[in-house]
Amino acid sequence: MDNIIQLFKKNFNWNIFFIILYIFLILGFFYNENSTGGAFQDYVNQKKISQDFAINFKSTLLNFDQYFTRHSPVLIMFLSIFEKSNLDDSLIRFIHLHLCLLLPIIFFLSLKIKYKFIKAENLLLLVSLIFLSPAFRSLAIWPDSRLMGLTLFCFSIYFYLMFEENKKLKNCILNIIFCAMSAYVSPNFAVFSIFYFYKFFIFYKFNKNNLAIIMLLNLILAIPAFYYLFALDVNFLNKTAAVSVDQNADVKYKYIFFVNIYNKILIISSIIFFYLLPFLITKIISINKIFKLDKILISLVIFLISIFYFDYEYQFTGGGIFFKFSYFFFNNNILFFIISFVAIFIILNLSNLKFENILLLILILLNNPQITIYHKYYDPFLLIMFFTLFNFNLNLSKANTKINLSIIYLFFISFLLTSNFKYLWNI
Please report the sign of the dihedral spanned by the C-alpha atoms of residue 344, residue 347, residue 349, residue 352. negative
SS3 325: helix
Same domain, 177 and 309: no
Does any domain span residue 426?
no
pLDDT given for residue 253 in this prediction: 47
- Within 10 angstroms of residue 192's Cβ, the number of other Cβ atoms is 24
Residue 394's DSSP bridge partners are 285
Does any domain span residue 220?
yes
Give the whole-angstrom CA distance, residue 344 versus residue 348: 6
* Boundary of a domain, candidates 228, 244, 260: 244
Same domain, 211 and 358: no
Same domain, 7 and 134: yes
pTM: 0.90
> Tens digit of pLDDT for each residue in 34-69?
888 888 888 888 888 888 888 898 888 888 878 777
- How many domains, in total, are found in the chain? 2
pLDDT given for residue 267 in this prediction: 94
Does any domain span residue 423?
no
Give the whole-angstrom CA distance, residue 234 versus residue 133: 33
Same domain, 218 and 259: no
pLDDT given for residue 185 in this prediction: 93
Does any domain span residue 136?
yes
pLDDT given for residue 302 in this prediction: 94
- Measure the CA angle with vertex 284, ends 281 and 290; round to 5°: 65
- For the chain, residues with pLDDT lower than 70 are 1-14, 236-259, 422-427
Range of the domain at 264: 251-386
* Boundary of a domain, candidates 386, 403, 421: 386
Does any domain span residue 99?
yes
Same domain, 222 and 294: no
Does any domain span residue 31?
yes
Same domain, 222 and 112: yes
Contact 100, 140 (CB under 8 A): yes
Q: Where are the alpha helices (DSSP H) in 116-207?
A: 120-128, 134-141, 145-166, 169-185, 193-204
Same domain, 264 and 344: yes
Same domain, 155 and 220: yes
What CA–CA distances, in Å, run from 109 to 215, 323, 341, 382? 27, 35, 35, 17
Give the whole-angstrom CA distance, residue 37 versus residue 138: 8
Same domain, 123 and 208: yes
Same domain, 230 and 278: no
Give the whole-angstrom CA distance, residue 254 versus residue 276: 34
DSSP state of 142: T
Give the whole-angstrom CA distance, residue 22 versus residue 144: 19
Same domain, 186 and 317: no
Does any domain span residue 292?
yes
* Boundary of a domain, candidates 219, 244, 269: 244
Residue 285's DSSP bridge partners are 394
Same domain, 104 and 219: yes
- Within 10 angstroms of residue 48's Cβ, the number of other Cβ atoms is 11
Residues belonging to the chain: 427
